[in-house]
Amino acid sequence: MFILEANKVYPKTLESKALIRFQDCDPLCHLNNAKYFDYFFNAREDQVAEIYQFDYNDYFMHNQTSWVIYNHQIAYLSSAKVSEWVAIMSSNIYYNDDTIVTEYVMTDIDKHYLKAVLWSTSKYIDIKTGKKTPHQPEVTNFLKTITIDGVNFEQIDFNTRIKIIKQELKEGTYFQ
Protein backbone atom coordinates (compact mmCIF):
# COMPACT_ATOMS: atom_id res chain seq x y z
CA MET A 1 0.00 0.00 0.00
CA PHE A 2 1.05 3.59 -0.30
CA ILE A 3 0.09 6.56 1.77
CA LEU A 4 0.79 10.10 0.63
CA GLU A 5 2.10 12.37 3.35
CA ALA A 6 0.22 15.69 3.16
CA ASN A 7 3.21 18.04 3.35
CA LYS A 8 5.79 15.89 1.59
CA VAL A 9 7.06 16.84 -1.87
CA TYR A 10 7.47 13.68 -3.92
CA PRO A 11 10.04 13.59 -6.72
CA LYS A 12 8.48 13.02 -10.10
CA THR A 13 11.57 11.80 -11.92
CA LEU A 14 13.29 8.93 -10.15
CA GLU A 15 16.90 8.02 -10.75
CA SER A 16 19.25 5.14 -10.07
CA LYS A 17 22.41 3.75 -11.56
CA ALA A 18 23.17 0.33 -12.96
CA LEU A 19 26.22 -1.58 -14.08
CA ILE A 20 25.86 -3.22 -17.49
CA ARG A 21 26.56 -6.90 -16.89
CA PHE A 22 28.59 -9.15 -19.18
CA GLN A 23 25.88 -11.83 -19.34
CA ASP A 24 23.40 -9.23 -20.68
CA CYS A 25 25.56 -8.23 -23.64
CA ASP A 26 25.95 -9.49 -27.21
CA PRO A 27 29.27 -10.61 -28.76
CA LEU A 28 30.08 -6.95 -29.57
CA CYS A 29 29.86 -6.14 -25.82
CA HIS A 30 26.70 -4.04 -26.33
CA LEU A 31 23.69 -4.47 -24.07
CA ASN A 32 21.28 -6.84 -25.81
CA ASN A 33 18.20 -4.96 -27.04
CA ALA A 34 15.80 -7.14 -25.04
CA LYS A 35 17.82 -6.57 -21.84
CA TYR A 36 17.12 -2.82 -21.88
CA PHE A 37 13.61 -3.72 -20.71
CA ASP A 38 15.00 -5.65 -17.74
CA TYR A 39 17.25 -2.77 -16.72
CA PHE A 40 14.40 -0.25 -17.05
CA PHE A 41 11.79 -2.34 -15.22
CA ASN A 42 14.13 -3.40 -12.42
CA ALA A 43 15.21 0.20 -11.90
CA ARG A 44 11.59 1.45 -11.77
CA GLU A 45 10.55 -1.27 -9.33
CA ASP A 46 13.44 -0.42 -7.00
CA GLN A 47 12.95 3.35 -7.37
CA VAL A 48 9.22 3.28 -6.62
CA ALA A 49 9.65 0.95 -3.64
CA GLU A 50 12.40 3.09 -2.14
CA ILE A 51 11.21 6.63 -2.90
CA TYR A 52 7.42 6.21 -2.70
CA GLN A 53 7.47 3.37 -0.14
CA PHE A 54 5.28 1.37 -2.52
CA ASP A 55 5.04 -2.36 -1.80
CA TYR A 56 3.89 -3.99 -5.05
CA ASN A 57 2.93 -7.32 -3.52
CA ASP A 58 0.96 -5.76 -0.67
CA TYR A 59 -0.80 -3.39 -3.07
CA PHE A 60 -1.80 -6.08 -5.57
CA MET A 61 -3.02 -8.45 -2.86
CA HIS A 62 -4.92 -5.74 -0.96
CA ASN A 63 -6.60 -4.11 -3.98
CA GLN A 64 -6.83 -7.10 -6.32
CA THR A 65 -5.78 -4.80 -9.16
CA SER A 66 -2.64 -4.36 -11.23
CA TRP A 67 -1.23 -2.59 -14.27
CA VAL A 68 -0.61 -4.66 -17.38
CA ILE A 69 1.64 -3.36 -20.12
CA TYR A 70 0.09 -3.41 -23.55
CA ASN A 71 2.31 -1.13 -25.60
CA HIS A 72 5.98 -0.13 -25.83
CA GLN A 73 7.85 2.42 -27.89
CA ILE A 74 11.61 2.20 -27.60
CA ALA A 75 14.53 3.95 -29.22
CA TYR A 76 18.08 2.65 -28.97
CA LEU A 77 20.22 5.74 -29.48
CA SER A 78 23.73 4.89 -28.24
CA SER A 79 24.89 1.49 -27.08
CA ALA A 80 25.28 0.69 -23.42
CA LYS A 81 28.44 -1.37 -23.12
CA VAL A 82 29.68 -4.13 -20.85
CA SER A 83 30.97 -2.90 -17.46
CA GLU A 84 29.64 0.62 -18.08
CA TRP A 85 27.76 2.45 -15.34
CA VAL A 86 24.56 4.06 -16.62
CA ALA A 87 21.93 6.36 -15.13
CA ILE A 88 18.31 5.25 -15.42
CA MET A 89 15.53 7.75 -14.90
CA SER A 90 11.84 6.91 -14.84
CA SER A 91 8.71 9.04 -14.65
CA ASN A 92 5.01 8.80 -15.15
CA ILE A 93 4.23 11.15 -18.03
CA TYR A 94 0.49 10.48 -18.46
CA TYR A 95 -2.49 8.93 -16.73
CA ASN A 96 -6.24 8.80 -17.15
CA ASP A 97 -8.98 6.77 -15.50
CA ASP A 98 -7.46 3.36 -16.41
CA THR A 99 -4.11 4.01 -18.14
CA ILE A 100 -0.60 5.12 -17.25
CA VAL A 101 2.40 5.87 -19.45
CA THR A 102 5.84 5.51 -17.92
CA GLU A 103 8.88 7.06 -19.56
CA TYR A 104 12.28 5.47 -19.05
CA VAL A 105 15.53 7.21 -19.97
CA MET A 106 19.00 5.65 -19.96
CA THR A 107 22.10 7.85 -20.20
CA ASP A 108 25.79 7.61 -19.46
CA ILE A 109 26.50 7.96 -15.74
CA ASP A 110 27.15 11.71 -16.09
CA LYS A 111 23.84 12.27 -17.92
CA HIS A 112 25.43 13.78 -21.01
CA TYR A 113 24.64 11.12 -23.64
CA LEU A 114 21.24 9.59 -24.23
CA LYS A 115 21.40 5.83 -24.72
CA ALA A 116 17.75 4.76 -24.85
CA VAL A 117 14.21 5.99 -24.27
CA LEU A 118 11.20 3.77 -23.59
CA TRP A 119 7.53 4.60 -23.25
CA SER A 120 5.46 1.81 -21.66
CA THR A 121 1.70 2.12 -21.67
CA SER A 122 -0.20 0.10 -19.08
CA LYS A 123 -3.86 -0.56 -18.40
CA TYR A 124 -5.24 -0.96 -14.89
CA ILE A 125 -7.02 -4.30 -14.49
CA ASP A 126 -9.05 -6.22 -11.97
CA ILE A 127 -6.96 -9.31 -11.16
CA LYS A 128 -10.03 -11.50 -10.67
CA THR A 129 -11.65 -10.72 -14.03
CA GLY A 130 -8.64 -9.68 -16.09
CA LYS A 131 -10.65 -6.72 -17.39
CA LYS A 132 -9.89 -3.01 -17.35
CA THR A 133 -11.08 -1.15 -14.28
CA PRO A 134 -10.87 2.51 -13.27
CA HIS A 135 -8.19 3.67 -10.87
CA GLN A 136 -9.44 4.04 -7.31
CA PRO A 137 -9.50 7.66 -6.02
CA GLU A 138 -6.36 7.13 -3.91
CA VAL A 139 -4.53 5.79 -6.98
CA THR A 140 -5.63 8.77 -9.07
CA ASN A 141 -4.45 11.10 -6.30
CA PHE A 142 -1.10 9.29 -6.18
CA LEU A 143 -0.71 9.49 -9.98
CA LYS A 144 -1.59 13.18 -9.93
CA THR A 145 1.14 13.73 -7.33
CA ILE A 146 3.91 11.85 -9.16
CA THR A 147 3.19 12.54 -12.85
CA ILE A 148 5.62 15.03 -14.36
CA ASP A 149 4.37 18.32 -15.70
CA GLY A 150 5.10 19.64 -19.16
CA VAL A 151 4.76 16.48 -21.25
CA ASN A 152 1.56 16.78 -23.24
CA PHE A 153 1.41 13.07 -24.05
CA GLU A 154 -1.72 13.33 -26.17
CA GLN A 155 -0.09 16.00 -28.38
CA ILE A 156 3.58 14.98 -28.57
CA ASP A 157 5.07 12.18 -30.60
CA PHE A 158 7.83 9.89 -29.37
CA ASN A 159 10.60 11.24 -31.64
CA THR A 160 9.84 14.84 -30.67
CA ARG A 161 10.05 13.85 -27.01
CA ILE A 162 13.49 12.29 -27.61
CA LYS A 163 14.71 15.59 -29.10
CA ILE A 164 13.38 17.44 -26.05
CA ILE A 165 15.11 15.03 -23.65
CA LYS A 166 18.41 15.45 -25.53
CA GLN A 167 18.10 19.23 -25.32
CA GLU A 168 17.19 19.12 -21.61
CA LEU A 169 20.20 16.88 -20.89
CA LYS A 170 22.44 19.29 -22.80
CA GLU A 171 21.06 22.27 -20.84
CA GLY A 172 21.03 20.42 -17.52
CA THR A 173 17.28 21.00 -17.11
CA TYR A 174 16.01 17.41 -17.46
CA PHE A 175 15.08 17.13 -13.75
CA GLN A 176 13.35 20.51 -13.48
Question: Which pLDDT tens digit goes with each residue over 76-113?
Answer: 999 999 999 999 999 999 999 999 999 999 999 999 99
What do you get for the CA distance between the two ends of the chain, in Å?
A: 28
More confident residue, 54 or 119: 119
Contact predicate 126/136, CB 8 Å:
no
Q: Supply the pLDDT for residue 150.
A: 87
Q: How far is it, in rounded angstroms, from Cα 1 to Cα 147?
A: 18
Q: How far is it, in rounded angstroms, from Cα 113 to Cα 68?
A: 30
Cβ neighbour number for residue 51 with a 10 Å cutoff: 14
Where are the domains positioned within the chain?
A: 13-171
Residue positions counted in the chain: 176
Query: Which top CATH class is 13-171?
Result: alpha beta
Q: How far is it, in rounded angstroms, from Cα 95 to Cα 92?
A: 8
Total-model pTM: 0.94
127 three-state secondary structure: coil
Question: 104: closest CA among 57, 137, 69?
Answer: 69
At 55, the pLDDT band (50, 70, 90 cuts) reads confident
Percent of the chain with pLDDT over 70: 98
